[in-house]
């Protein structure tokens, strides 16, 4: 039995996230069905993350076990031929038996993109959040640094998700806010992320820009764990899983 490690990229606009669901189309479903047809066997794909509906991935890893002898280059070519245009296989290799795309990862990096122009981008409306109001990326970069370190991020987690977690403590390695023309990028890396954590952190920073929250509120939210101390959960379509660290 081989353990195959595959890296894919996808535009998540048409999908209800990674994880297979009964009534919605997901990336996992398409990957498993595609690999199953190619290998003529049942495939279970283990993903590195459970991206939400509408979230994108520039680098998403999965592993799947198969008895098929198809070499990785051939498997990769066949998958890219069969998968829809919004999913691409970037690499494929044989991995150690104990490799697991999720549990073997040391951390992840996410990027949230904001279109800070005066008008909408009609060709990229599903790829970045349109926000036509002033954003001071230098101030927000300084505020983002308050998240760096080991903290209890209970205030930055979807309420229902916390009930199933042993701990809401996570370590953020780095958080930067940069601008390139009209695009403002919020880039954050860490050892793990709670449900909606990145979207709530970015939403909190945007609230800081709007004067609805302050840097002191960020520090207080990390201490109290109260969801109401943090900012809004911004929409998913600006979020990208950017890198996975092994």
List pLDDT tens digits, range 16-30: 999 999 899 999 999
Q: For 180-189, how does the pLDDT look when each residue is reduced to its tens digit (9 = 90+)?
A: 999 999 999 9
If DSSP codes are grouped into helix, strand and coil, which group holds residue 170?
strand
**128 and 54 share a domain?**
no
Q: Determine, yes or no, domain membership for 202.
A: yes
d(CA 134, CA 203): 15
pLDDT class for 60, splitting at 50, 70, 90?
Answer: very high
Q: Determine, yes or no, domain membership for 112.
A: yes
**131 and 182 share a domain?**
yes
Q: Determine, yes or no, domain membership for 214.
A: yes
Query: Is residue 133 within a helix (H) or strand (E), and if so which, with residue range?
Result: none
**Sign for the pseudo-dihedral over CA of 16, 22, 25, 31:** positive
Q: Which residue range forms the structural domain that includes residue 232?
A: 107-245
Confidence at residue 160, expressed as pLDDT on a 0 to 100 scale:
75
Q: Determine, yes or no, domain membership for 100.
A: no
State the pTM of this model.
0.95
> CATH number, domain at 143?
3.30.70.660
The alpha helices in 188-244, defined as continuous H runs, are 197-210, 215-224
Q: For 88-129, how does the pLDDT look when each residue is reduced to its tens digit (9 = 90+)?
A: 999 999 999 999 999 999 999 999 999 999 999 999 999 999
- Catalytic residue list contains 52: yes
Report residue 199 as tokens: 């979207």
Q: What is the mean pLDDT of the chain?
A: 96
**156 and 79 share a domain?**
no
> CATH number, domain at 44?
3.30.70.580
**Sign for the pseudo-dihedral over CA of 192, 11, 53, 175:** positive
**56 and 117 share a domain?**
no
**Residue that terminates a domain, selected from 95, 115, 144:** 95
Segment 1-22 shows an average pLDDT of 96
**Residue that terminates a domain, selected from 95, 117, 143:** 95
Q: Determine, yes or no, domain membership for 64.
A: yes
Q: For 136-150, how does the pLDDT look when each residue is reduced to its tens digit (9 = 90+)?
A: 999 999 999 999 999
**127 and 201 share a domain?**
yes
| Least confident span in 109-113, 158-162, 164-168 | 158-162
Q: Determine, yes or no, domain membership for 101.
A: no
Q: Determine, yes or no, domain membership for 149.
A: yes
Confidence at residue 72, expressed as pLDDT on a 0 to 100 scale:
97
Q: Determine, yes or no, domain membership for 16.
A: yes
Question: In the predicted model, is pLDDT for residue 163 greater than 90?
Answer: no
**62 and 127 share a domain?**
no
Q: Determine what percent of the chain is predicted with pLDDT higher than 70.
A: 100
Segment 219-229 shows an average pLDDT of 94
**116 and 238 share a domain?**
yes
Confidence at residue 2, expressed as pLDDT on a 0 to 100 scale:
96
**172 and 112 share a domain?**
yes
**72 and 111 share a domain?**
no
Neighbour tally for 228: CB within 10 Å: 8
Segment 207-227 shows an average pLDDT of 95
d(CA 1, CA 13): 34
Report residue 232 as tokens: 């809004």
**33 and 148 share a domain?**
no
Segment 209-234 shows an average pLDDT of 95
d(CA 186, CA 175): 7
User: Which distant-in-sequence residues (6+ apart) come within 8 Å of 72 by Cβ?
Assistant: 4, 92, 93, 94
Q: For the chain, how many structural domains are there in total?
A: 2
Is residue 97 classed exposed, middle or buried when 0-12, 13-18 and 19+ CB atoms within 10 A define those classes?
A: exposed
Give 172's strand partners: 149, 190
**116 and 88 share a domain?**
no
d(CA 130, CA 150): 31
**Residue that terminates a domain, selected from 95, 122, 150:** 95
**61 and 135 share a domain?**
no
Catalytic choice (52, 152, 182, 217)? 52
């Amino acid at each position: 039995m081989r353990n195959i490690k595959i890296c894919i990229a996808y535009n998540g606009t048409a999908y209800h996230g990674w994880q297979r669901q009964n009534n919605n189309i997901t990336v996992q479903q398409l990957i498993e069905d595609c690999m199953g047809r190619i290998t003529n066997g049942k495939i279970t794909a283990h993903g590195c993350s459970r991206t939400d509906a509408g979230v994108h991935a520039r680098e998403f890893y999965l592993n799947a076990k198969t008895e098929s002898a198809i070499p990785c280059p051939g498997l990769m070519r066949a998958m890219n031929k069969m998968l829809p245009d919004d999913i691409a296989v970037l690499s494929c290799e044989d991995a150690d038996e104990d490799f697991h795309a999720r549990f073997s990862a040391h951390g992840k990096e996410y990027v949230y993109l904001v279109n800070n122009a005066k008008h909408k981008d009609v060709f990229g409306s599903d790829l970045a959040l349109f926000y036509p109001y002033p954003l001071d990326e230098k101030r927000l970069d300084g505020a983002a640094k308050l998240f760096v370190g080991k903290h209890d991020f209970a205030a930055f987690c979807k309420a229902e998700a916390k009930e199933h977690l042993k701990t809401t403590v996570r370590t953020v390695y780095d958080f930067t806010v940069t601008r390139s023309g009209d695009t403002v990028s919020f880039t954050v890396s860490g050892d793990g992320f709670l449900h909606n954590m990145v979207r709530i952190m970015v939403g909190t920073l945007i609230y800081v820009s709007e004067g609805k929250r302050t840097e002191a509120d960020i520090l207080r939210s990390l201490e109290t764990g109260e969801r109401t101390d943090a900012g809004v959960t911004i929409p998913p379509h600006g979020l990208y899983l950017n890198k996975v660290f092994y």
